[in-house]
Chain A
Amino acid sequence: MKALNEMKLTLESRSVNEGYARVAVSAFVASLDPTVEELSDIKTAVSEAVTNCIVHGYRDTMGRIYIWVGIFADNSVKIRIRDRGCGIADIRQAMEPLYTSQPDERAGLGFAVMQSFCDKLTVRSTPGKGTTVTLLKKIESRSQC
């Protein structure tokens, strides 16, 4: 299925950009007339994915985060967030709720939030090459357009 509308955004992996990333994605998705709850679900999921790129993917280095957002005819939104960081050796373990590689202040709930706030979550990763997270969210639009 081809996207009706799409956008791309490239950011440096600075934590200050987390806020911009989630606001930019939610502003783009606003054309589907989502509810306040749907919009805040998207913001939260994007924030988790971008934070993962910064905290885990690039850890003590600086790199680029590539975001692609597509809006589809069935009122769904696909958000792809990609880094070229260290990658994840064991995706199943990384996605387990409460698992974290940095236990002091991270709760280990990033993937759990993405999973429960979106309709579908796909994670692809190659150690040494990077990680791609794809989020899918159906928008139950209030007005038919």
Chain B
Amino acid sequence: MPVRIEKNKNLTTAFLSGEIDHHSSAFLREEIDKAVNVVMPRELCLDFMHVSFMDSSGIGLVMGRYKLMHAIGGKLKVRGVNASTMKVMKLAGLDLLAKIDCKGEER
């Protein structure tokens, strides 16, 4: 599963796509962490616009990035989440950790 990362000191965005499961999340984690450790952005945005499936491995991915951003004094934002992915995120209480925008209400 490919990930495109737009690196910027103010806001770094990772455009995720396809299916996020245990198999694909290790690669995503590495790529995103590599970029964050180089740029040290003030804010990291995980863009789920083109993610068609996510299980609890995606929770680990978001929580881990939340911790990483917290450690460097930055913020995490999640956007473009579809209904089924939102259901998994809400179960884990991720909506209490980070700002989550659903599909169709991006700002």
Contact = CB atoms under 8 A, between A and B. Distances in A.
Interface of A: 15-16, 18-19, 22, 36-37, 40-41, 43-44, 47-48, 51, 54-55, 105-107, 109-110, 112-113, 116-117
A69 B53 CA distance: 21
Interface stretch (B9-17, B43-51, B59-67, B98-106): B59-67
A4 to B, nearest CB: 27
Given A18-B23, A51-B21, A109 B59 contact: yes
Interface stretch (B34-42, B70-78, B83-91): B83-91
Contacts, number: 62
Interface residues of B, number: 22
Contact of A113 (B23, B29, B91): B91
A120 to B, nearest CB: 17
Interface of B: 19, 21-23, 25-26, 29, 53, 55-57, 59-61, 63-64, 83-84, 87-88, 91-92
Contact of B55 (A36, A44, A54): A44
- Which of B56, B61, B64 has the most A CB atoms < 10 Å from its CB? B56
A37 B88 contact: no
B23 A19 contact: yes
